[in-house]
Structures are given as structure tokens and as C-alpha cells.
Chain A
Amino acid sequence: MKQIIELNVNGESYTVAVNPWQTLNEVLREEINLTGVKLGCGSGDCGACTVMVDGRAVSSCLSLAVEMVGKEIMTVEGMAPSGEELHPIQESFVKKGAIQCGFCTPGMELTALNLLNNNPSPTYNEIREALAGNLCRCTGYKKIIEAVGAAGQKMKEASERKTS
């Protein structure tokens, strides 16, 4: 039987009727139309479905929608809420050529955001370790790692400007 639940996604509240066996991925894509969230392997191996839940990057294909009530969910659409200005991570991905087919990009960017929020100046290896659960079928890892490093630098400078 369907349950009526309220989900907080990208700062907006959505009331949706879901079956308990629907994953967060299905509900975000099919009920809320946030198709920036991708579905790859469906078993937590590829990271294409990554979303942030309460500030942590997780696989939405392995999360039940009914368990997400009361949590803050963020998808790639929430990274640039104005729809005009890109998030520094996104800007950096564009500038560094870190996007090829684009399928892994939303997941990569959210995992990168999770990393940079906790560690603004990660080393090359720390970036590699943080992205270990996100696969790029175009194998464009080098550019992605460079983009994350550059984004961290940019975000750090911006926050320093704000505080000074």
C-alpha cells in the first residue's frame, strides 16, 4: 500500500505517495522529476546515483525512500539552485574538461562536494580515495581529479575572502 511521505529535497518540501519498496532513486527521478540523479548499476557499485543525505554522499539506488523522511536530501540540481550560476565544482569540471558523456558527472560532483566540505585541500591521493566509489565509463579520471583539486582551491579562496 502506498504511503504519503514528505521529502526535503534541495531545500524544498515534496509530498509524494510511494510504495515502501521504491528506492530514493526511483522517487527522485520518477515522482519529483529530478533526472540529474542517474541510475547505473542499481547495486551500489558505480556511484552514478549519488545524492547527499544529511551532508553525506550515498547511493540513492540502495536507499529506501520511506527511510528518508526528515532528512535533508541534495541532488546535483541543488548545487546550482539559481539555475544560472554554476557551483565552483561544476565550473571547475567544465573548465578542466572533466565531463565527457556526462553520465557520472552528477555523482562525481556530489561526492567531490562531500570531500571538499570536510577537507578543503585534499591531496591527489585523497581525491582518488574519495572518488573510489564513482566509476567513469569514459575513463576520464585524470581530468576529474584535477577538477576536484582546482575546485577545492577555488572554494577555499572564496571562503577566505568572505571571512576577511
Chain B
Amino acid sequence: MLLPKFDFHEPATIAEACQMMAEFGSEARLIAGGTDLMVNMKHKVISPNHVVSLSRIDDLKKLDLSDSTVKIGACFTVAEITESEEIGKKLSALRTGARALGSPLVRNRATIGGNLGTARPAADLPPSLMVYDAKVVLTKSSGEREVSLDSFFKGPGVTEIQPDEILTEIRVDVPPPHAGAGYINLGIRQAQDCNLVNVASYIALDGPDGTIQSARVVMGCVGPTHLRASSAEKLLIGEKPSDELFEKAGEAAMGDCTPIDDFRGSAQYKKAMVGVLTKRTLGIALKEAKDRG
């Protein structure tokens, strides 16, 4: 499989890259890790006239940790997320999601920005970032804007990013004490496979043995984009955590998803697994919320 022909550009700064994207518009594609783009180009799904590489822009590879916020450059690799103890401590579900992505060879190249920008409904990082209410920074020549991941994904492969914009940073507020999150992905194989269902859950308690103050449940592979299980979230808030409550939340989440039948599994099976994974990820979240207290 050969790549289609293209003109190659290697900007040294974000500003230069923005200028190029403004000039080329939809004729250009950005390349970060290339693990998704190159496969699609080889299969001739896309053949952009211009490929703009982000690999020389060091500003996009930074990890900036403070007590209140984690800022991750769009070209921070998935392997680097798995290796960061600080991310593991502050955003454990993100590290779990990163560990589940592809294989070590893919993780060494794939980037966090790429995994969001390609907007695959089965991707591992979107749910494990959405549970933390993460935001992305979209930059263009005339300025930047911050977009919540909740409104970033528009459909399979479609996002809020405009042709002249670049996803430059991911921003996440560090969860408060007594908060925790969990992520589980289910697939036929444990590596190198497209997920069948993936779910991430987050809960914050108002004290060590308190009630649930806020909750987020995000489901993947069961809709055109990753979905929030809003009725499950509503059911959790204000209640004391328990196995029975998590079971009910799982049942509610099953009603919030819209899976389809495909060769990976039936809609009915995927829906049932949403229930199971919601319950289990809430269990992981609760354990972490108590440990972190």
C-alpha cells in the first residue's frame, strides 16, 4: 500500500502552522503521530494535497501540571500519558484509557490531539477525558477558543475544528478531594482492536462517606459520537453510593444509548454491556474517591 502524493510542510511554530492551515484550508491535513491519518491515506479514504506536520513544534509536546489544572499539548504521545505518574495520580481514568489504546508501537507514535481530532466513536481517550469535563483549545491566526469536549464531537470523523484551526491543547481541571473516575473498554481482542463498548464514569462525593455531589457517565461505540448518560447521571446525584444505586444507574445508561447492529456485535448486546460497564466503572470511581479522600 502506497501513500498518495502530497506536498509536505513542516512549520516550526504554532503561528506558522496556523498560517498554512488558513492558506490551504480543507485541502490540507495535519499530521501528528500519523497512526490514523496514514492508514486512511494508504486506503485512499483521504488524499489531501498538503500534509502539514506538527512534529517540529515543541510547544505542542508540553505537559503543564499545576495543583488545579492539567494542560496537555496536543502532540503529547499516548505512551507518554501511560508513563506519567502525575497524570496517573490526578487523572487515573485518562491513564487507563491511554493504556488500552492500540499497541505499544501505536502508543509510541499516537498523540492525544490526534485521538480526539479523528473523532472515532470507539476511540479510547474521548470518554476518559469527557468524564473530567475536559476542554480543548482550538487555535487559528486571529486567536484561540476553548471548547468543551461535550460539544466538540459532531459525528463520526467530524468535529468542531474549522479548516483554519489547529487543536493545540487539552485542559482538564484536577478533580476535587473525594472524587474518582474509572474507565473500561471491551473488545474482542485486548490490543489492536476497535472497541465494542467503552464507558467512563466519574463521581465526586461531598465527604469521605458522603453523598454524590456530581456525576458524569460517558459511553462510546453506542452512538455517532461519545454520549453522556444524562439520566444515569441525574439518578446518581444527591444519593449515597451503593451497589444497588450503581446497578440502577447502569440500567438508566442503557436507555441513554443508541447502538447499532454491526459485525462486532448486536445492538442488544452492546446495550447490555453499557449497563455492566457503567456499574463497574462507577465501582472503580467510588473506590478511587474513597482512596483519594
Please report whether the interface of chain A is mostly helix, strand, loop or mixed according to DSSP: mixed
Is the C-beta of A132 less than 8 angstroms from some C-beta in chain B?
A: yes
Q: Are B3 and A134 in contact (CB under 8 A)?
A: no
Min distance, Cβ B166 to any Cβ of chain A, angstroms: 17
Which of B3, B10, B109, B190 has a CB less than 8 Å from the CB of A21? Answer: B3
Per the bound structure, the CA–CA distance linking A23 and B108 in Å amounts to 17
Q: Is A44 a contact partner of B191 (Cβ separation < 8 A)?
A: no
Whether A132 lies near B51 (C-beta < 8 A) is no
Task: Give the residue of B5, B35, B43 whose beta carbon is less than 8 angstroms from that of A44.
Answer: B35
Looking at A50-58, A73-81, A89-97, the stretch in contact with chain B turns out to be A50-58
Interface residue A111 (Cβ < 8 Å from any Cβ of B) = yes
| A58 and B108 form a contact (CB under 8 A) | yes
Task: Pick out which of these stretches binds chain A: B98-106, B134-142, B178-186.
Answer: B98-106
**Smallest CB separation, B39 vs chain A (Å):** 5
Interface members, chain A 113-133 (any B CB < 8 Å): 114-115, 129-130, 132-133
A11 contacts partner chain B, Cβ-Cβ < 8 Å: no
B3 vs chain A, min Cβ distance (A): 4
In the assembled complex, the CB of B61 is this many whole angstroms from the nearest CB of chain A, namely 12
Residues 49 to 74 of chain B near chain A (Cβ within 8 Å): 51, 53, 55
B53 touches A111 (CB 8 A): no
Of residues 24 through 58 on chain B, the ones whose CB sits less than 8 Å from some CB of chain A are: 31, 34-35, 38-39, 42-43, 51, 53, 55
- B90-115 at interface with A (beta carbon < 8 Å): 102-106, 108-109
Q: Taking A132-B192, A133-B192 as contacts, is the C-beta distance between A62 and B35 under 8 angstroms?
A: yes
Report if A8 contacts B (CB, 8 A).
Answer: no
Enumerate chain B residues within 8 angstroms of A59, measured Cβ to Cβ.
Answer: 35, 105-106, 109
Q: When chains A and B are docked, how far (Å) is the Cα of A134 from the Cα of B192?
A: 10
Chain A window 17-57, contacts with chain B (Cβ cutoff 8 Å), 1 for yes, 0 for no: 00111110000000000000000001111010010000011
The answer to whether A62 and B5 touch (CB under 8 A), given A114-B104, A132-B104, is: no
Residues of A with C-beta under 8 A to B7? 20
Judged by a CB distance under 8 angstroms, whether B269 is at the interface is no
Q: Does A66 belong to the interface (CB within 8 Å)?
A: yes
CB-CB nearest in chain A for B107: A133
B248-262 at interface with A (beta carbon < 8 Å): none
Query: Please, how many angstroms separate the alpha-carbon atoms of A42 and B34 in the complex?
Result: 13
Top 9 A-B residue pairs of the complex, sorted by shortest distance between their CB atoms: A133-B103, A20-B8, A132-B191, A133-B105, A21-B3, A42-B1, A56-B108, A132-B103, A62-B38
